[in-house]
Amino acid sequence: MQDIEKLRFAKSHEWIAPDGTVGITDHAQKEVTDVVFVELPPLGKSAAQDGEVATLESVKAAFPINAPVAGKVSAVNDKVAKNPELINQAPYGDGWLFKLDVADAGSLKSLMTNAQYEEFLKTDAAHP
């Protein structure tokens, strides 16, 4: 389980931990509903900030997952590929998706803190 206060958040509802671990927020998992398939990126894949790197499929729809910052995929969570429901059950824990070798540690500063994300959720921009 991640310490939420140490996470940084993207407007597309992904979080990233200081060590580069990426997942989706609790708000996002509720919006996505029951995840049934996860398409994870191959190891070593380079991603630009906000570039699409993975896909979640729920009963409801398909949802693209973006890299919160630029980096290279250094690990993927095989457990969620086998048990996609982990994303709904533990979005900040066992439901993490992949890990990024962050290209520029300073880029995390462009993201929101938990408090800022909570405020963002109250705006229309958070609910396209």
- Report if residue 37 touches other proteins, rule: CB under 8 A: yes
- Report if residue 116 touches other proteins, rule: CB under 8 A: no
- Report if residue 60 touches other proteins, rule: CB under 8 A: yes
- Residue 54: name the closest of 84, 97, 20, 96 by CA: 97
Q: Which of 34, 104, 118, 119 binds other proteins (CB under 8 A)?
A: 34
Q: Cβ 88 to other proteins, closest distance in Å?
A: 7
Give me the long-range contacts of 89-94 (CB less than 8 A, separation at least 24). 90/1, 91/23, 91/24, 91/25, 91/26, 91/28, 91/29, 92/1, 92/2, 92/4, 92/7, 92/15, 92/23, 92/26, 93/1, 93/2
Q: Which of 36, 43, 48, 115 binds other proteins (CB under 8 A)?
A: 36
Q: Using the rule CB under 8 A, give the single segment among 28-36, 67-75, 103-111, 116-124 that binds other proteins.
A: 28-36
Sites of contact with other proteins (CB under 8 A): 33-34, 36-37, 55, 57, 59-62, 85, 88
